[in-house]
Amino acid sequence: MRRRWIGVSVVACLLGVSACAMGEDRGDNQHAHISGPTGSGWYPLSTLLSDIWLDEIAELDVTVVEGGAIGNIREVNTARDVQSGLVFASDFMDSIQGAGAFAGEPQENVKAIAAFYPTMWNIAVLEDSPYETLEDVVLHGADAINGNPGDASEATFRRFLKRWVMMRKR
């Protein structure tokens, strides 16, 4: 029952955003949701969400398309091909402020409708690694795989490290 309530509640919010973005003449019950790449953690979450919508709202047709956090905001903002998407909260804040990857280009046709899940950062090392703390990793120059340059994951990792350094200076 909880699954049904969550799915219906979220789709009602998303369709409200879609109606605002697309205008009242959109009567085809089509909804496109932009997610992450198929190998990401976001894609299966989006697929599960679309399955709930399809099970609970017979007249709705939902399509999940591949994307990426920063591009997802831009795509939803255009209101052309997609009506909702998953994004990082930090990128969303940049988008409405015209900062970061959106410097000088505030995205004015998007709004946040839900916090889907809290993101906890995990920093992992090999079992036999000499690194015991984050300080060890940073101070001894360990290699980090933090995402592709310019992607949201990479930008979020940089923000995290910048904040960590600021906190250590206190």
Q: Which residue has the higher pLDDT, 103 or 24?
A: 103
Cα Rg for the chain, rounded, in angstroms? 19
Per the prediction, the chain carries an average pLDDT of 79
114-126 burial: b if 16+ Cβ within 10 Å, else e: eeeeeeeeeeeee
Res 132 pLDDT > 60: yes
How far is C-alpha 37 from the geometric centre of its chain's CA atoms? 11
Q: Which residue has the higher pLDDT, 97 or 126?
A: 97
- Segment 97-118 mean pLDDT: 89
Give tens-digit pLDDT for 112-128: 988 876 665 667 788 89
pLDDT confidence of residue 77: 94
Give tens-digit pLDDT for 18-72: 324 444 444 578 899 999 888 888 899 999 989 998 999 888 899 999 998 889 9
**Whole-number Cα distances in Å, 80 to 33, 64, 76:** 12, 15, 8
Q: Which residue has the higher pLDDT, 8 or 140?
A: 140
CA–CA distance, 59 with 36 (Å, rounded to integer)? 26
pLDDT confidence of residue 6: 43
pLDDT confidence of residue 119: 63
Q: Which residue has the higher pLDDT, 86 or 137?
A: 86
pLDDT bucket at 4, cuts 50 / 70 / 90? very low
Which backbone phi and psi does 30 adopt, to 5 degrees?
-90, 135
Residues 54 and 62: beta-carbon distance below 8 Å: yes
The reported pTM is 0.65
Q: Which residue has the higher pLDDT, 135 or 94?
A: 94
